[in-house]
A and B are shown apart, each in its own frame.
Chain A
């Protein structure tokens, strides 16, 4: 398999780079997902252990035996992003397999139209996994296939007993490895991936049957729920749901998941590949307005990577800085020309002095040297950018009404789009920041200090110092204020003995003066802080497309992305039918908008005519109208003749166009009236 790029220029290398990058990102996202789900899984595991220990006790205690009709159940509320659940369940079953029990069955509604299929599937999975664990020999295999024929709860129990016994007898080998974690009789976990789509009958039957056997079979159910926990009660009648002992678990919302992913993938200098503002906007919009699926977001991200590396020959330099520098040295002459053609590089060249300009445009070596420097600049810019962005986010995220957005991604988009300090929102948020109270301000500054300290940028030492200085000033201010406060109170004490009117007056004055005095001091400092942040923003949050060579690492063609990920097939059809000129660049088809000419392809004419009809369309009228239009086009030569030949051709063309419309789903044959078709759309 060779790289499918048209120009062979470094194509293989580019492909390798993109694959490496993608793999890195993939593993990173999986890691993130794992971390996020950790809490949830821990809870689940402890729940399973608990339920399991209960089962152990149940065998002895009579009271529990009474209760033992109840199946311990975990209801896992996962949210509407169904597509992400698969991954969650997979890692969940992995975790359980490691920690709790080898007996796990994952059931999906689409496999289980009836209770029989469900049992079949369940047993198949359980016995297979048991084979996996114990690596059974042939005789057991026969046993398994025998069991398959008669899938019932009893056979399941028999199997379970035999299996547990076997592990007991075979303990010496097993226990050392895995059974130290697995208990004497591990529970059987049945996971219903999508509880909502199961038929209620199947679920009820299964629950009732298994509750009968709960004494022999330590069963634990896990329901995956996309909507709300209420669904259990609406799906199952009370008599059934009372057999369940339900505990609720809530997974992390997908939005938080996304923000962590963005945080880790986009807002870091580690990943060399960057998304442009529009692209990011499109991806986030698809996420927020279409599916809430993190999976899809990552898919879109992958697509961006592929597209970028495919379409940009210079993307070969889109890798870690060290590699990039090496690669710059081995660039071919064509690639150098490519660099010279970049608009951002042209701007850079124009800003240089003339001798340097000539050197840049003629000498490849010099160009490479400069490119290395520029790439390094770009890298440094990214490092600084992230830190300052976070810092700004600390300030803006707590402002009332969130003029620059609540999430850091919104801020990120705003900064990428244009000079953020020129926007109204930024202006208003600065104004709001100037009204912050002291404690908030201090904590924010502290947070900023932490961000800068932890950041990898080298230029921030001074910044940190400056911010720390602010902090100490605040400290001082506080002390001063306390002193003042004391003095004021003493003053008050002194003046207590004057008359009421005077007291009031002096108090008012005092209050006035105190406020103005104190505030001016604090205010000055506050102004200073805000101004300093502002200067940081102006320094470091320059939009990326003002940077030279940004084309190498930024993917910015949002239209491609939207076209391929969030397509609108119906709109495309309508456009083609209404305005064929969009596709067929023929002058005859050009129009001023609004209507089409009569020279359009047949299907467009037929479509146009059908738009004027109500729910039913008379085929004869339609045909007549069509032939009117078409003969008009053919015009003078065929006017009087109207021979059979021509007519038949028109007829045939009409038939073809109508059946094409039928294929496209605009009409369907109707039995309501002879020779009529029904329209399936309405309006224009």
Chain B
């Protein structure tokens, strides 16, 4: 700690020379910064103390990243992580005993702030005078060696871009500026200078403010921890939702020179990538598997079992099924499947388990029938395994109600898995008592291969391929006129893709255009055609504020462009 301090003062002297011209600007700003820092420091106490106490607050370990500074950016963290191979970022507090004594609020915070500050300085050198690289390197190394055994000097050194990201100083005051400069690759030097200087003026005072804001005696702090933590959480929420404008960089995946991966290549690539910690994961699984017999017992005693925890529980349940349920009637429900419904579950019970032919008017009737059958025949037993009980399709109130009622039958044994963080919110007390859950934590860390493999559960990276293929398939079966109609609409939509408030093409305009292209002769034919599109979910209609019907293709622009290109090729 002392060493770092010394270093800093040296540097400050150095820096002062070329900052002088900017000082008049930064002086009054510094005042503001000071106030702000006070506030932040106060916040810091709130947030850091529960962490410091650690064991006293159970959440402390779990939610360990309670840095009050929202601005500590992802990129910064990334580079930090990158530089600390297998090592904790937090420095040994014993290195700066005198400081911890004074300010129990996380010395690591402070040190990191200093490092960030030093990087700023170095950058300043870089931009302003192009100081010898060696010197800079030396400095950098010095700084880092104080805290960590840096192995990855190259990364830090050879990529100033990344360093600039680190420059996103941990100071909320600077958040917006530094953020933008960090993400837009090239900007004018002047702005940078100013920015760095503000960083400097802000940093000149930390020692003072820290001293001023030494926390009250321990015992009172300890008392306040709870409410502080609470209020901090609330503040974090409002911080996150205060402004409708969110500052993020404007980069898009398109600008990245990288082709999009489709499902298959993604799968192949992941196959190649070795699964990390396979041995440990296997051990975990074995632990869980030893519980199988217990599960059986508890299922038979009228409990149902729900599995939670990080990692796919599919394999585990599969194993349970193959090892224990071989000889009994069981039903596996893949909840993650995007088109699963309660109805299909009930159908498979009535048709395949009860071998009942016939239809039911409503799922409730069907449920009643099932309940009756199971009550009549006590020898009827059924194991139901549901992967992802909390999936999109099953999480609805009515579905859960029906499933809960099913599971409350004494001879239906339900074992299910949940993954979503808010999954338990699906159930109210009544449902919970119907389910009669026993919770089992089965963290497996195995990847959710099946669960995420369905197209619409994935992110933009590969979405579209399915949509595209379905588009082409459907359209291929249509008449040329119909294809022309769809093309018109697609083209019009692409022309308006830069208009964010584009409502869609109004029916009247569309009709006009189709007529002009000799595609339809009356609005009835067009309507008939549109109905067909709608049935295939190719278009969506929306009524505008003025009552006019607007037509939209619910596919993103890129897919649409691809589609049109493909069509052009075909023609």
Contact = CB atoms under 8 A, between A and B. Distances in A.
B258 interface: yes
B149 to A, nearest CB: 13
Interface string A610-636: 111111111111111110110111010
B253 A683 contact: no
Interface stretch (A3-11, A50-58, A452-460, A508-516): A3-11
Interface in A631-654: 631-633, 635, 639, 647-649, 651-653
B421 A573 contact: yes
A655 B459 CA distance: 8
Contacts of A653: 270, 273
B79 A567 contact: no
Contacts of A584: 277, 280-281, 284, 445
A620 B182 CA distance: 13
Interface stretch (A331-339, A486-494, A664-672): A664-672
B300 A1 contact: yes
A629 B232 CA distance: 29
A303 B303 contact: yes
Interface stretch (B32-40, B83-91, B346-354, B465-473): B83-91
Interface stretch (A375-383, A408-416, A586-594): A586-594
Contact of B419 (A588, A628, A664): A664
A396 interface: no
A563 interface: yes
A444 to B, nearest CB: 39
A632 B75 contact: no
A656 interface: yes
Contacts of B253: 619-620, 675
B308 interface: yes
A611 B297 CA distance: 41
A572 interface: yes
Interface stretch (B66-74, B113-121, B203-211): B66-74
Interface stretch (B6-14, B423-431, B560-568): B423-431
A649 B272 contact: yes
A613 B72 CA distance: 9
Contact of B429 (A291, A628, A647, A683): A291
Interface stretch (B450-458, B488-496, B527-535): B450-458
A595 B89 contact: yes
Interface stretch (A135-143, A255-263, A433-441, A596-604): A596-604
B269 A629 contact: no
Nearest to A667: B459
Contact of A592 (B72, B90, B240): B90
Contact of B309 (A566, A572, A579, A648): A572
A565 interface: yes
Given A563-B441, A611-B65, A665-B420, A572 B74 contact: no
A659 interface: yes
B249 interface: yes
A618 B249 contact: yes
A211 interface: no
Interface string B253-295: 1111010010001100110110011001101100000000110
Given A572-B308, A585-B280, A652-B270, A578 B82 contact: no
B237 A682 contact: yes
Contacts of A602: 276
Contact of A632 (B155, B256, B280, B421): B155
B571 to A, nearest CB: 30
B461 to A, nearest CB: 5
Contact of A576 (B88, B298, B443): B443
B282 to A, nearest CB: 11
A302 to B, nearest CB: 7
Contact of A293 (B61, B269, B429, B438): B429
Given A111-B364, A574-B63, A584-B277, A569 B418 contact: yes
Interface in B123-172: 151-152, 154-155, 162
A293 B152 contact: no
Contact of A598 (B64, B84, B270, B280): B84
Given A306-B301, A574-B62, A567 B439 contact: yes
B429 A684 contact: no
A653 B448 CA distance: 12
B374 to A, nearest CB: 17
Interface string A207-219: 0000000000000
Contacts of A201: none
A681 B62 CA distance: 15
A7 to B, nearest CB: 11
A496 interface: no
A597 B300 contact: no
Contact of B63 (A578, A589, A649): A578
Interface in B392-427: 401, 418-424
B183 interface: yes
> Which of A580, A635, A656, A665 gathers most chain B CB within 10 Å?
A656
Interface in A270-327: 291, 293, 295-296, 299, 302-303, 306, 310
A585 B287 CA distance: 13
B440 interface: yes
B249 A6 contact: no
A610 B62 CA distance: 16
A553 interface: no
Interface in A420-478: none
B310 A603 contact: yes
Given A599-B85, A612-B77, A632-B81, A651 B258 contact: yes
Nearest to B253: A675
Given A655-B461, A655-B462, A303 B438 contact: yes
A586 B74 contact: no
B522 interface: no
Contact of A663 (B79, B240, B436, B452): B452
Contacts of A649: 269-270, 272-273
A82 B66 contact: no
Nearest to B312: A660
B51 interface: yes
Contacts of A295: 433
Contact of B241 (A577, A613, A665, A682): A682
A587 B395 CA distance: 39
Interface string A191-220: 000000000000000000000000000000
A564 interface: yes
Contacts of A572: 308-310, 441, 443
B541 interface: no
B251 A594 contact: no
Given A597-B87, A609-B78, A4 B280 contact: no
A575 interface: yes
A664 B183 CA distance: 28
A83 B81 contact: no
Contacts of B423: 569, 665
A610 B75 CA distance: 10
Contacts of A660: 447-448, 452
B334 to A, nearest CB: 14
Interface in A42-86: 81-83, 86
Contact of A565 (B65, B162, B293, B438): B438
B82 A629 contact: yes
> Which of B63, B276, B422 gathers most chain A CB within 10 Å?
B276
B82 A628 contact: yes
9 contacts: A299-B436, A567-B439, A595-B90, A621-B183, A649-B270, A652-B270, A655-B461, A656-B270, A656-B452
Given A595-B64, A655-B261, 5 more contacts: A572-B443, A578-B64, A608-B65, A656-B266, A676-B248
Interface of A: 1, 3-6, 81-83, 86, 110-111, 291, 293, 295-296, 299, 302-303, 306, 310, 563-567, 569-580, 583-586, 588-589, 591-599, 601-603, 605, 608-626, 628-629, 631-633, 635, 639, 647-649, 651-653, 655-656, 658-660, 662-666, 669, 672-677, 679, 681-684
3 nearest interchain CB pairs? A567-B439, A632-B82, A625-B78
